[in-house]
Amino acid sequence: MKKLPSQIYYYISYSLIPILGVIQTKALTMILSKASFGQIQLIMPIIGWGIIIGGLGLPQYVIRFYSVHGIAAFKKGVIISCIFIFLISPLFYLLYVEVGISKLQPHKDILLFFIIALIIILSSVLRMVNALLRVQQRHFLFNFILISERLFVLLAVLAGILLWSAAPVNSFFLGYALGVGGALFMVWVFLRKKIIWCESFPSLSQIKEMLLYGLPIITVLIMSDFLATLNRYIISYKLDVNAVAVFVIGVVITHICFAFLYEPILTYGHPFIFNAWEKSGKADTESIVNKYIKLYMMLGLLMLGIVVHFEDILINVVSNNQYRMPAGCFPMLAIASFVLGIYRFLVTHYLLRKNTSELILCFFISVVCSVVLALFLITYYGLVGVCAAALISTIVLCLIVWWRGRSVMQIQIISRQAYAIIPFTIILSIFNSPYKWDMFSIWRWVDFVFVLACALVILYFVNIRQYIDKKV
C-alpha cells in the first residue's frame, strides 16, 4: 500500500484542530455565562505564559540539537523544564492571586492555582514530546498526538463543567488538565516510559547551553503572546469580563479564518524556503517566498471580504447573538488577522538570518503601541478603541518587519491578480445584506451561497492553480 505524503498529516491536523476549537467554543458559550467565559479567557494567557517561560525554549532546543545530543537532549530538557516550573511557581502565584486576575472567591484561588500549575507542567512535557516526534520525523504520531490532545481536552472540559457546574471556571481547568494528561498517557503507551526519565542530572555546561539557546526564543514568544493577549486585561480593567468574552470571540473567529490559510502554506513551504537559502542563495529564496505570499494575498483578500460580510453567521456558528460586537469591531479584527498573516511571510528573513534580537525589538515596539493606544482609546470609544489599537499595532509590526527586510529579500506583497480581487473585497465589506443578523431568513443563506460561488469564479479566473503547483 502506497504511503501517504507527510504533508497530508499536517493538512489534516490544521483542518481538524480549528474545527475542534470551534466546537469547544460553541459549547462553552452555550453552557457558561458570559462572565464565566470571560474569566476563563483572562486565565488562559497566564497558562500560555507559564508554558512559554517554563519551557525555557527547550522544545526548540530538542529540534536544534537532537542531531548532536540524541535522545539526551530531550531527557535532560524535560527535567530542567519541570524543575524550573516548580521554582517559578511562587511568582505565578503572586501574579495570579495578588494582582487579582482570577476575579474569583479567595477560598477557590489556591485550588485553581494548583490546577493551573498542573496544566503548565503537563503541557510543557507534552510540547517537549511533540518536538521529539517532529525531529524524529514521526509525522503520523506527531499529528495524531496533536489531534488527540485537543479532542481529550474538549471532552474532559465539557464533562467537568457538566459534572461540577457549581464552579464552572475550576471545572473547566480541571477538565483541561485531565485532557492534557490523557494525551500524555497516550504518549506513554506509544513511546514507553523509558524515554521520559533522565538517568543523570544535566551538567552546568549543558544547562548553560540550554539557557543561552532558549532565552531569546522565550522572549520572542512572550512578546508575541503579549501582543495578542494584553488587551484582554485592559478591557477587564476599564470595562468588565463580559466585554472580554465578546472581544475574545471576535479574535478567535478571525484568527481561525486566516490561520486556516497561512499555516498550511507555511508548513508546506518552509522546508523549500530553508533549503533554497542554504543551497541556492537569495534569488531562489525570494522567488519561493514571493510565490507563497502571492497565494496567501489572493486567498486572504477573498477571505477578508467573506468574513466581514458574514460576521453574523460566523458569530452564531462559534457562539450566539449575545457575543455580537459593537459596529466596526469585527472588521478591524478581521483586517488585523489578515495583516498578521502577511507578517508571518515577511518575518522569514529573520528566521533565515536567526536575528532574534531585532525581532524582539519589533515586537516590543508593537506591544507598547498596542497597550498605549488601547488605554487611551478605550476611554473614549470602548471596545471599538481596543480593536482599533489591535489593528494599528499589527500594522506597525508588519511595516517594521517589511522595512527591515528590504535589504535581505525583495518581496512583492501584492500581485496583479490580488489587485483584481480588491474591488470584490471592498464591495463585500461595505455593502451589507438587509437580512444580516436574521439567521432564519432564506435570503441570507441565498446571499451566502451566491458570494461563495462568486469567490470560486474569481479564483478560477485569476488562475490560482499556478501558485499551488508543487514544483517550486
pLDDT digits (tens, 9 = 90+) for 179-207: 999 888 887 777 765 555 555 566 677 77
Residue 52 domain-assigned (yes or no): yes
Residue 150 domain-assigned (yes or no): yes
d(CA 103, CA 37): 12
Tell me: do 247 and 194 sit in the same domain.
no
pLDDT confidence of residue 472: 44
pLDDT confidence of residue 126: 85
Residue 374 domain-assigned (yes or no): yes
Tell me: do 188 and 233 sit in the same domain.
no
d(CA 123, CA 135): 18
Tell me: do 351 and 452 sit in the same domain.
yes
Residue 382 domain-assigned (yes or no): yes
pLDDT digits (tens, 9 = 90+) for 240-275: 889 999 999 999 999 999 988 888 777 777 667 777
Tell me: do 186 and 61 sit in the same domain.
yes
Highest mean pLDDT among 17-26, 180-189, 192-201, 327-336: 327-336
Average pLDDT over residues 322-326: 91
Tell me: do 354 and 409 sit in the same domain.
yes
C-beta of residue 298 within 8 angstroms of C-beta of residue 464: yes
Tell me: do 240 and 198 sit in the same domain.
no
DSSP-assigned states of every residue in 334-382: HHHHHHHHHHHHHTHHHHHHT-HHHHHHHHHHHHHHHHHHHHHHHHHHT
Tell me: do 69 and 157 sit in the same domain.
yes
Average pLDDT over residues 319-325: 89
The tally of domains found in the chain comes to 2
Residue 216 domain-assigned (yes or no): no
C-beta of residue 172 within 8 angstroms of C-beta of residue 161: yes
Tell me: do 424 and 370 sit in the same domain.
yes
Residue 338 domain-assigned (yes or no): yes
Question: Which residues are CB-neighbours of 316 under 8 A, at least 6 positions away?
Answer: 439
Question: Is residue 345 predicted with pLDDT exceeding 80?
Answer: yes
Tell me: do 253 and 138 sit in the same domain.
no
Percent of the chain with pLDDT over 90: 21
Residue 1 domain-assigned (yes or no): no
Report which of residues 72 and 200 the model is more confident about.
72
Domain extent at residue 181: 6-202
Closest C-alpha among 45, 31, 180, 177 to residue 112: 177
